[in-house]
Structure 1
């Protein structure tokens, strides 16, 4: 049902849409459910019989990390599917509702099949599908509820959205590890499932009040894909067409070699590079080849498409380079729920310290609650104190500079985590409280990168291309997970293990310093690219 807002106010100060309460309530429960299960996934897998076939704890930790990052890759890949179905066929409301039901089914599988690998992994797939499917839609569906008469109220709601996300993550990170420890996995996965059902019910209750923007059904002749197609295929073939075609062939060959290796055991594809790694590499090859090819021949599309559409595609392709350089940040950030949790389990909880909240924090898994808590503190600190102070000192705090510094600061957090790992490997008793420092730096980096990147992308892309940019932004987390899986698979090769051991390192310590170096190189490359980036200002006219 489509609701027409009657209140009109030239200044945009109309009433708050009454249906917003359903969307905010849905978001609060959904975020608790997601972070509640996500943040206990690695410790559960390490101690579960699902990985009982592995010979030792180190192997179980490695397998748990791989499963976790494969799950994260899925969560941030499936927004492409959700956005496409919503835009082409079903609209936002129907797509959110149906994917939410899939989401609920996934939680039910986790709670019911804690000891059954097929059932449990099916649940993870369904949650990745459901969570990813609704991810690009809820915020934009919320925006659809506003018009010119009440646009000033939208900022209040979006601020509430961000606060609710971190509020849900904070309490889920604190409570669900305690539930897992005290009541077991059925309740630890069941409670988030109940919250997801409540989220779906709340969203459904508002069905008669929502403003529903109909799907475009792919009718835009000047869309991003249509312009790219014209650039590659119009007026004959060129170097760009060859590059795009080569990327398609390369992606197909990768998938074929993996299939042959998996089905016959033939050594035609690197051992340890499973379907998830292969698929992501193929996807990356397609995006790179088609993107570079289109940028070389974009002028061929002029005449068939308006200049604004062609310039919009060029802006998106430039932004994709920025996004590619951000992917190493996500490879660091998402490991706080895997690598850092595993490190924390080897540390000592300082219950004897008077300042440690022993009544609340009893395990390393709960340290993840620091991230949303610090976000809620750092964002106002940056906006009200840090950035104004830097401006007074003569420093121009641009979005690209913030993002570059964020990647670099995240690298520093992993240097500190690596030092803590060296202490542990040397036999020292290390207090869990020491992890507060890398969490602080990583969260500071997240605020500089993640919150800034969406603002940057929005300002650079024309209005018609903003949906495309959001889809590509989610893929940065997918490729961040890919770097983790690739690195882990490489480090486990016997010759690499032997080399690491010969240097006097453990695998965990090596990986921490490797990822720190990886992010530092990315930060330097980001800074170099940012110096030549032509900034745009594509905001909607008042």
Structure 2
């Protein structure tokens, strides 16, 4: 049978709608609670023990610590799935943890311990299933119907943004009209429905068994060989560097525990643990890179070369982390800015019957994503090619980081206007949201495509883990900035500029993005591109 005939006769696997339905409800659930979290905390009894002037900063700390957890726990979910339980069981059990977290938020909206327990459980549950659902969709396809996979993945991504759009639009209204128990309870109900839908398809799923870590040429095994293998007449400097990273990480955790005088007061467990993890990855990566050639002979050249590609991707993702520090603040810093602005009910085009809260402006992000992606693919990229400029993945990511900086310049200009004392229309936030979302599409939608092409199939799981960690470290930048502005010397320095703290930080983050974009461009200029797409006809 010809390839064309096979494609025409291919059918959508009957079990896929269960996964799509699960994802739609889960994304509504997640973004529904996430996008009202900061505005709830600022005015809740959860932070009532903090002076009113400091509550916005504390709410931002809680929010970004939560996001750090969401993008850290994919490491755990992916490991448990691969080593022990497989994707279906891991997704199902983490989904039940997820549901329990939502129940805690709804039941303990006036209890700090109960509420924070709920946030931890949601971070654990959401993070645990995050790396698995997309690959579980892919497991449902084989050679006979693989032509349908791209359609399903496109619809899958569209569903994520569809759920995010309505959650971002509606949940602030429920919080305003019915209170936190209802506003957090509805996402919990949606997550229960998501879990039920996923469970209903249990007898139809294709379940790829876990590997139990038996791959002898995995990233970990190749890296371990490179670090530990001795060469006659040579030392092991790479191993020394990796061990130095481990010692530094342990020292950081020890300093957090005993709190010596030189240790920054604001460096809590989340910041310290993330910095320790960063030290392990950075020093370990450098050490492996120094001795990687020693792994040849014990492992295939393709595995060694793929590890080298992963180490290069680590640098790319590290340079993307400043983008995430700007992007995720749209749900914290920008929402708080919007609360000081005037909802423009007098504008003829403003949907006053629906948009009544600053938090609802976050719905612009998924809406614009659904519009910008086809615009870029159909209009912008072909136009740039006709003009002689090839929009490669690295170029798109570099410009995406820069556009996030432009977005924060716009947000900073709005803040200056607010600080001037004049009423400022909330409609002006459309501009920074548009610029930031355009940057997101250039970075986020491109980075996974780029990473996929740089590593062999065996290394793609490592790539996904690193991608999620880039979001984690992006939010660590925000926490570190929040800690620094509580220092008296820094506060005095900001005051000497004549800017408010909010305006100063917005321009600071814009400059941060521009510097990151410049360094990214310099690295990308010399980056040796790989092409690890599967050959035509290869299984």
Q: Which residues of structure 1 form unaligned runs of 5+?
A: 1-6
Q: Which of the residues 246, 266, 269 maps onto 1:275?
A: 269
Secondary structure of the corresponding residue to residue 424 of structure 2: coil
Cα deviation, residue 10, structure 1: 5.2
Q: Which of the residues 366, 369, 373 maps onto 1:372?
A: 366
Q: Residue deviations 1:148-178, cap 9 Å, x none?
A: 0000000011011111000000000010000
Q: Which residue number in structure 1 is paired with residue 212 of structure 2?
A: 217
CA contact (8 A) 1:260 1:268 kept: no
Q: Which of the residues 369, 385, 395 maps onto 1:391?
A: 385
Q: Residue deviations 1:108-153, cap 9 Å, x none?
A: 0000000000000000000000000000000000100000000000
Q: Give the TM-score normalised by the residue count of structure 2.
A: 0.97
Q: Which residue number in structure 1 is paired with residue 119 of structure 2?
A: 124
Q: Which residue number in structure 1 is paired with residue 97 of structure 2?
A: 102
In the alignment, structure 1 residue 321 sits paired with structure 2 residue 321: no
CA contact (8 A) 1:33 1:195 kept: yes
CA contact (8 A) 1:12 1:149 kept: no
Q: Which of the residues 223, 246, 249 maps onto 1:248?
A: 246
Q: Which of the residues 283, 289, 302 maps onto 2:283?
A: 289
Q: Which residue number in structure 1 is paired with residue 527 of structure 2?
A: 533
Q: CA RMSD in A?
A: 1.2
Q: Which residue number in structure 2 is paired with residue 507 of structure 1?
A: 501
Q: Which residue number in structure 2 is paired with residue 3 of structure 1?
A: none
Q: Which of the residues 258, 261, 264 maps onto 1:260?
A: 258
Matches within 5 A, 1:354-369: 354-369=348-363
Matches within 5 A, 1:86-485: 86-235=81-230, 237-261=235-259, 266-485=260-479
Once residues 174 and 135 of structure 2 are traced to their aligned partners in structure 1, the CA distance between those partners, rounded to angstroms, is: 34
Once residues 326 and 147 of structure 1 are traced to their aligned partners in structure 2, the CA distance between those partners, rounded to angstroms, is: 34
CA contact (8 A) 1:17 1:145 kept: yes
CA contact (8 A) 1:349 1:432 kept: yes
Once residues 376 and 240 of structure 1 are traced to their aligned partners in structure 2, the CA distance between those partners, rounded to angstroms, is: 46
Secondary structure of the corresponding residue to residue 131 of structure 2: coil
Q: Which residues of structure 2 form unaligned runs of 5+?
A: none
Q: Which residue number in structure 1 is paired with residue 30 of structure 2?
A: 34
CA contact (8 A) 2:230 2:236 kept: no
Moved more, 496-505 or 59-68: 496-505
Q: Residue deviations 1:306-354, cap 9 Å, x none?
A: 1111001001001111000000000000000000000000001111111
Q: Which residue number in structure 2 is paired with residue 522 of structure 1?
A: 516
Q: Which residue number in structure 2 is paired with residue 45 of structure 1?
A: 41
Cα deviation, residue 429, structure 1: 1.1
Once residues 118 and 170 of structure 1 are traced to their aligned partners in structure 2, the CA distance between those partners, rounded to angstroms, is: 30
Once residues 10 and 216 of structure 1 are traced to their aligned partners in structure 2, the CA distance between those partners, rounded to angstroms, is: 30
Q: Which residue number in structure 2 is paired with residue 4 of structure 1?
A: none
Secondary structure of the corresponding residue to residue 135 of structure 1: helix
Cα deviation, residue 13, structure 1: 4.8
Once residues 12 and 114 of structure 2 are traced to their aligned partners in structure 1, the CA distance between those partners, rounded to angstroms, is: 44
Once residues 13 and 121 of structure 1 are traced to their aligned partners in structure 2, the CA distance between those partners, rounded to angstroms, is: 51
CA contact (8 A) 1:10 1:148 kept: no
Cα deviation, residue 45, structure 1: 0.1
Once residues 397 and 16 of structure 1 are traced to their aligned partners in structure 2, the CA distance between those partners, rounded to angstroms, is: 33
Once residues 294 and 192 of structure 1 are traced to their aligned partners in structure 2, the CA distance between those partners, rounded to angstroms, is: 44
Q: Give the TM-score normalised by the residue count of structure 1.
A: 0.97
Change (3 A) 1:234 1:8: farther
Once residues 368 and 533 of structure 1 are traced to their aligned partners in structure 2, the CA distance between those partners, rounded to angstroms, is: 35
Once residues 215 and 269 of structure 1 are traced to their aligned partners in structure 2, the CA distance between those partners, rounded to angstroms, is: 43
Once residues 34 and 12 of structure 1 are traced to their aligned partners in structure 2, the CA distance between those partners, rounded to angstroms, is: 37
Once residues 414 and 202 of structure 2 are traced to their aligned partners in structure 1, the CA distance between those partners, rounded to angstroms, is: 51
Cα deviation, residue 14, structure 1: 1.9
Cα deviation, residue 8, structure 1: 12
Cα deviation, residue 432, structure 1: 0.4
Once residues 382 and 15 of structure 1 are traced to their aligned partners in structure 2, the CA distance between those partners, rounded to angstroms, is: 30
CA contact (8 A) 1:110 1:189 kept: yes
CA contact (8 A) 2:344 2:425 kept: yes
Q: Could you list the runs of 4 or more consecutive aligned residues of structure 1 that deviate by over 3 angstroms after TM superposition?
A: 7-13
Cα deviation, residue 503, structure 1: 1.9
Q: Residue deviations 1:442-474, cap 9 Å, x none?
A: 000000000000000001111111111011100
Moved more, 515-524 or 11-20: 11-20
Change (3 A) 1:94 1:461: same
Once residues 493 and 11 of structure 2 are traced to their aligned partners in structure 1, the CA distance between those partners, rounded to angstroms, is: 66
Once residues 4 and 257 of structure 2 are traced to their aligned partners in structure 1, the CA distance between those partners, rounded to angstroms, is: 59
Once residues 101 and 426 of structure 1 are traced to their aligned partners in structure 2, the CA distance between those partners, rounded to angstroms, is: 49
